[in-house]
Structure 1
Amino acid sequence: MQRMGFEETIAELRANGVRLTPQRQWILRYLKETHSHPTAEQVHHEVSKALGGISLATVYNTLHTLTKMGVIRELSYGDGSSRFDGNETEHAHLVCDQCGTVIDIESPEVEQILSPEATRNGFNIRAYRLEFYGVCEDCQKEQAVEN
């Protein structure tokens, strides 16, 4: 499945009768155009640059709604704050243990591995979440400078 861009997502939502407030559009645009997996607070900070009067509660409510619609994904890493991913397709992540950076990786091989196992067990896979934890390149460079 190919990742949908902002315009495609807007067209699909309109076709399904979804009300698209300016706030929803700005938040969705930001998430579709970034690859940084921001927190709600980071989304609020960025979207506030365009929509000065947007409240944090509106951002939270919109993120929840967009997640329920399936056009964004909510990622939780146990640190108390969710991150949001504008890439709605099935994919894996690299997660830095030190700085928390989250990087998308395409993983078509995962489906090839899971499908036969799921079939053998009579399981219908609806979605998956695969993450690899380690240290990103920037943090490794920082460590090298400190040592």
Structure 2
Amino acid sequence: MHLLSKIGLVQEIEFSDGVSRFDPDPSLHIHVVCLKCRKVEDYRSENVNKLWAELIKELGFKPLGQRIDVYTCYNKCSQKRPLQQNTI
């Protein structure tokens, strides 16, 4: 997987827990991360795409990369056990 990341076929996403995950989708999207089960789901929004394009236009540069992570605790995980801080 690291080789695929180096040649640009997947994006390596490293979280603070030291575990890397690999995303085959290089398009702009949000990673929704559950702090309990550590599941990572992709979320896409045309509004995010528009904001990103506007930001690039206003600032006048081409970004080398981007990453948006949203941390949450899914309802089904909340009911199972209490949240421990700093799990990711």
Distance 1:111 1:125, change over 3 A: farther
For 1:142, what is the secondary structure of its paired residue? coil
* AA partner of residue 132 (structure 1): V
TM-score normalised by the chain length of structure 1:
0.49
Bigger CA drift: 133-142 or 94-103?
133-142
Identity of aligned residues (%): 31
TM-score normalised by the chain length of structure 2:
0.75
Distance in 2 of aligned mates of 1:77 and 1:136: 18
Higher helix share: 1
Query: What does 1:129-144 correspond to in 2, within 5 Å?
Result: 129-143=67-81
Distance 1:87 1:115, change over 3 A: closer
Higher strand share: 2
For 1:112, what is the secondary structure of its paired residue? helix
Q: After the TM superposition, which segments of 4 or more aligned residues of structure 1 sit over 4 Å from their partners?
A: none
- Determine which of 98, 103, 120 is the counterpart of 2:41: 103
CA RMSD of aligned residues (A): 2.0
For 1:100, what is the secondary structure of its paired residue? coil
Residues 7-59 of structure 1 show CA distances to partners (whole Å, capped at 9, x for unaligned) of: xxxxxxxxxxxxxxxxxxxxxxxxxxxxxxxxxxxxxxxxxxxxxxxxxxxxx
Query: What does 1:19-34 correspond to in 2, within 5 Å?
Result: none
**Structure 1 unaligned runs (5+)?**
1-62
Query: What does 1:70-81 correspond to in 2, within 5 Å?
Result: 70-81=8-19
Q: Look at both structures and tell me which one has the larger radius of gyration over its CA atoms.
A: 1
Instruction: Tell me how many residue pairs correspond in the alignment.
Output: 82
Counterpart contact for 1:101–1:136, Cα < 8 Å = no
Structure with the bigger RCO (C-alpha within 8 Å, sep 6+) is: 2
Distance in 2 of aligned mates of 1:112 and 1:93: 17
